[in-house]
Amino acid sequence: MGTVSGALPISALEQGSSVRTRVDYESTPEGALVRRAQAGDESAFREIVERYQSKVFSIIHGIVRQRNDVEDIAQQVFAKVYFSLRNFDFRSSLITWIYKITVNECFDYLRKKKVRKLVYESDMSEDEVRRVENSEPIPDRSGRADSALARRDYIVKLMDRVSDEEKNLLMLKEVEGYSVEELAGMLKMNENTIKVKLFRARQKLVKASQRLDKAPAR
């Protein structure tokens, strides 16, 4: 069961039922909360933030692994939620929508950080570059960090080669552990569509990986 599931209003998912009933999300209590926030009720927005902040922090930390930056990214996520909430159309649950924003924000952050690092390094000598590369990122626990860090960097690079939709789908499936049936219910899509999209996204990752392996190491 995926870690987002606790917040999902689809009780059928929690029961592991094979019959997926598509819940009219708008008529759930959370739907009413969203409606209040959309109408400008600040206490409703605060409730949304308080309800999902732990989950958002956890997703961000899972992807970026930089404790110092987690709060900044979370602020950007909720600011985006605040400004885009009016356009939220109840096609998915609120947490699915927030999850998508969070994942996009994390990969944006990693991309910008990479660009900043390249610009910064271009002004440094080789020795300085080596020193900086050895000093960052600071792992949370220094033990088994090296290979895990390399694997993480690698998968982050691969994920950067797929679209936002594919990224979101892959994250929900492979990281959060949702089944195809659950994803179909959450995203209001046909199961076969989900299967095909997932398969294409994985194929893209394989191709990106082949290209990355062929490219000379920096």
Partner 1 sequence: MHEIVTDQFEMHLRGEASEAFHAHLAACRECRTEVEEMVSIIGLMQELKPEPEASIEPPLGFYNRLTHTIVAEQKSQAWGFFSPGVPFFRRVAFASLLLLAGLGSYLVTRETGDNGPDPAAIMAQHDHSASQPESLDRERLLVTLATYHE
Q: Which residues bind partner 1 (CB under 8 A)?
A: 3, 46, 49-50, 53-54, 57-59, 61-63, 67, 70-71, 74-76, 78-79, 82-83, 140-141, 148, 151-152, 154-156, 158-159, 170-171, 174-175, 180, 195-196, 198-199, 202-203, 205-206, 209-210
- Closer to partner 1 by CB, 128 or 140: give it: 140
The pair of three-digit structure tokens given for residue 128, joined into one six-digit string: 């300085």
CB 37, min distance to partner 1, A: 13
If you count them, how many residues does the chain have? 218
Count Cβ atoms below 10 Å from residue 83 Cβ, excluding itself: 9
- Closer to partner 1 by CB, 120 or 199: give it: 199
- Closer to partner 1 by CB, 129 or 155: give it: 155
Total H helices, total E strands in the chain: 10, 0
- Closer to partner 1 by CB, 25 or 78: give it: 78
C-alpha angle with apex 150: 216 to 203, nearest 5 degrees?
A: 70
CB 66, min distance to partner 1, A: 10
Cis peptide upstream of residue 216 (ω within 30 degrees of 0): no
CB 155, min distance to partner 1, A: 4
The pair of three-digit structure tokens given for residue 161, joined into one six-digit string: 């080669």
60 half-sphere exposure, CB direction, 13 A CA radius: 26
CB 169, min distance to partner 1, A: 12
